[in-house]
Amino acid sequence: MTGSELNTPVRLLVGLGNPGTEYQDTRHNAGAWFVESFARKSGASFTRESKFYGRVARISFEGEDLRLLLPDTYMNESGRSVAAVCQFFKIPTDSILVAHDEIDLPTGTIRLKQGGGLAGHNGLKDISACLGNDQSFNRLRIGVGRPDKGRVVGHVLSKASQEDRDLINEGLEAALDVMPTVIRGDWQKAMMQLHNRQDIDDGDKT
């Protein structure tokens, strides 16, 4: 059975990025932007936990604990932090949602994905490796636009223009609106709501 058939709820929301002020406004930190926005909307506060190699927060959603995680490791070592939280709280891999930047989507386009390939993303690859090569965790893919060939690293580690940041923020707001449905594990409904809304919004801009 697939995750959507099981309606697996989310127990851990992870926002990927690089630590430090020099990286906080770069496209590679789009996943962290989302989780920070979700925390603000939920009234959650992060606490730095050395045993989890990152900052963690907890909210109660419909009587169940939801953990939020912002790894303090660099992107390509994100798995150490995720694995530590999962092991401590006994969170199964298919109950994880990882928010991350995605160069294969137009800037500001947001898509949900259950498991599957890692598309060469170093953060996702390290998470999978640290979870025993398990790729069944869910993803919130945040489009940051495709750079010219050979400029991938420079693109994701550069600061987004104001226009691009506005587009990304609009996408994040759309994703925040469907998070209650996502957390419940109603993946098909959440995907339909998010993807259809974004398709309509994109059409309005043309």
Mean pLDDT of 125-147: 94
Q: 183 near 9, Cβ under 8 Å? A: yes
**Would you kindly state where each structural domain of the chain is located, as residue ranges?**
3-205
Cα–Cα–Cα angle for 148, 152, 153, nearest 5°?
Answer: 140
CATH number, domain 3-205: 3.40.50.1470
pTM for the model stands at 0.90
Q: Dihedral (C-alpha) 183, 186, 192, 194: value to the nearest 10 degrees?
A: 0
**Is 195 known to be catalytic?**
no
Q: What is the pLDDT of residues 171-193, one digit of tens each?
A: 999 999 999 999 999 999 999 99
Tens of pLDDT, residue by residue over 65-102, are 999 999 999 999 999 999 999 999 999 999 999 999 99
- Taking CA atoms, 85 is separated from 12, 59, 183, 197, in Å, by 9, 15, 18, 33
- Whether the CB-CB separation of 114 and 43 falls below 8 Å is answered with no
